[in-house]
A and B are shown apart, each in its own frame.
Chain A
Amino acid sequence: MLLRPEPLHIPDGFLSPVVAVAGWILAMIFISIAIRQTKNQLGERQVPLMGILAAFIFAAQAINFPVAGGTSGHLLGGALAAIVVGPWAATLIMSAVIGVQALLFQDGGLLVMGWNIVNMGVITAFTGYAIYKLLLRIIGQGRGARIGAAFAAGWFSVQIAAMATSVELAASGTSPLKFVLPVMVGVHLVIGIGEGLITAAAVGVIQASRPDVLIAGERAPGRRLAVFTAVGLAFALLVALFSPLASSSPDGLERVAAEMGFLALGQDPTYEIFPGYTLPFIGGEALTTILAVTVGTMIVFGIAWLIARTSAVREAAGD
């Protein structure tokens, strides 16, 4: 009942080594920030609480229900974890879940585990949290608002994770973006509904019996940094989705762009972090494009982090 490979668990062999290593670097950055953040938040309760909640996510993923055509729906859980314990704790919880799935069940590869953590742990947690908070701000704090926001958070978190997975596959030359993106997003439009419904119903139950838990989750420390991280991630994904248009010589991705008639758009890139998205001292167009995107992503993330840091300090000084 537990062995069900999912479209988001990338196995080994599907990502090129450069892409895989970039994923590990990103995952390690997020995990080490998350460890610091949750240490402040939970103190010595950190390990027992998060260990048991990781086991909870694993057990919750195993509860499935039949959907048409012999397939079954179940929870991924990143958005739910972010709503109930905050995005940084959720990042750690999901990393542990993904690690155990890969090590114990070969559900997701070892070399590509970095991206699996980023896709299913970091991205689902942060987009879910950001959407949930944003909607609560817009439509208020009532019971219905929380449930509706939780549905949207669950749905969006799965979409964004699917988009990120598509970009990584395309960057590795495994599957062309113009195919894998619509397929991944199309499949997850449906899977996302299940995720949204389960997340919403779970939040409804928690709201009814322990509303204090939800409020504590919404007030988890590191909120501001989390919002900036979510914005940074969304921006990085946007750059990655359109970066093939900015590279200077025809490679696999560019050919896809040319076929789609996007090439005219790419002739004059409005943004150019590196000249033609290639680093001069490393040969190989595809390789340098990937490297440039990775470095660019990290720079964007670094800037977002710095802004969040300074505004957090100002917030603390203001309070």
Chain B
Amino acid sequence: MHFDLTDQYQDRPSSIHDLDPRVKVVLTILYILGLSLTPEAAWFVFLVFFVMLLLVVGWAQLGLTYTIRRSYIAAPFILAALPIFFMLDGPTLITLPGLGWTVSAAGFDRFFTILIRTWIGVQAGILLTVSTRFPDLIWALDELHVPKVLVAIVSFMYRYLFVLIDQSMRMRQARASRSAVTQESRRPSAIWHAKVVGMMVGSLFLRSLERSERVYAAMASRGYEGEMRILNSFHMRPQDWFGLTMGSIVLLIPLFIQFIFIR
């Protein structure tokens, strides 16, 4: 039983993959910030953002629909925004038959703006993850002055994630092989399930704690002094500077469109 998380990264021989991870992190954040700053109902600007994203996805040789196919991840949260349809004043678009609730134009605009921002924003995150190896991503965050200890904890977590998930899967297998199940019997209650899961969590915690003691002892005996040393390092090459500059300029385009055509 083995669980593998690395399949998030999609290796392609593209210049997007080759770009310095710092550049990609900065441009992704700027892109999402740009999306958030785009005013409500500026549909054309959102379209420009979306086309930009698709171009980069295509450039990264992922196939144009790659991020769209995986963008369902934020879908359940959309429910939280649904009532905004009915909550804003303004000219009425539709009245729901039977309920008498009215959908205002403002509510319609607000809802679809949130929907589109989230949908495109999630895809930008997916693009960053699938085009950058996770250790490189963590390294970039360290370079961009995310607190060192936090970065070290995250990289440690990434290293042991597989180990602990495998361990929890082995525990589940062991439990399943010890417990008799008859098809006819009534299903046990959710409370019983929760208790069993809680006990597994408790023993997984103790095993993790003891593992961390062993790991620390092994590290200390190899000369660990409280600082993580990371071997990989990138240098900003000319093409990275070019990518950063071009990316920033391209990200200004939607902003110009807003000022020239919409205001």
| A201 and B190 in contact, given A12-B35, A95-B150 (Cβ under 8 angstroms) | no
B164 to chain A: closest residue by CB: A59
B6 to chain A: closest residue by CB: A104
Query: Number of B interface residues, CB 8 Å?
Result: 86
In the complex, A97 Cα to B155 Cα: how many Å?
Answer: 11
Residue-wise interface mask of A (39-58) relative to B, using a CB-CB cutoff of 8 A (1 in contact, 0 not): 10001111111111111101
Contact B32 A111 (CB under 8 A): yes
Query: Number of A interface residues, CB 8 Å?
Result: 90
A62 CB within 8 Å of chain B: yes
| A204 and B198 in contact, given A49-B212, A95-B150 (Cβ under 8 angstroms) | yes
| A59 and B147 in contact, given A5-B73, A111-B33 (Cβ under 8 angstroms) | no
In the complex, A201 Cα to B116 Cα: how many Å?
Answer: 42
B98 CB within 8 Å of chain A: no
Contact B114 A179 (CB under 8 A): no
A281 CB within 8 Å of chain B: no
- A12 to chain B: which residues have CB within 8 Å? 32, 35-36, 117-118, 121-122, 124-125
In the complex, A213 Cα to B207 Cα: how many Å?
Answer: 12
The stretch from B10-18, B56-64, B220-228 touching chain A is: B220-228
Q: Main SS of the interface on chain A? A: helix
Contact A59 B161 (CB under 8 A): yes
| A35 and B149 in contact, given A12-B121, A13-B114, A51-B155 (Cβ under 8 angstroms) | yes
Contact B81 A51 (CB under 8 A): no
In the complex, A3 Cα to B167 Cα: how many Å?
Answer: 19
Contact of A52 among B83, B84, B208, B228 (CB under 8 A): B208
Query: Can you list 29 A-B contacts with CB-CB less than 8 angstroms, sorted by A residue number?
Result: A17-B37, A47-B149, A47-B153, A51-B152, A51-B153, A51-B156, A51-B160, A51-B212, A53-B205, A55-B163, A56-B204, A59-B167, A59-B168, A63-B168, A80-B201, A92-B153, A99-B150, A99-B154, A105-B73, A110-B29, A110-B121, A175-B80, A176-B84, A180-B80, A193-B194, A197-B194, A201-B198, A202-B205, A205-B198
On B, residues with C-beta under 8 Å from A are 5, 8, 28-29, 32-33, 35-37, 70, 73-77, 80-81, 83-84, 87-89, 110, 114-122, 124-126, 128-129, 134, 137, 147, 149-150, 152-161, 163-165, 167-168, 172, 190-191, 193-206, 208-209, 211-212, 215-216, 219-220, 224-226, 228
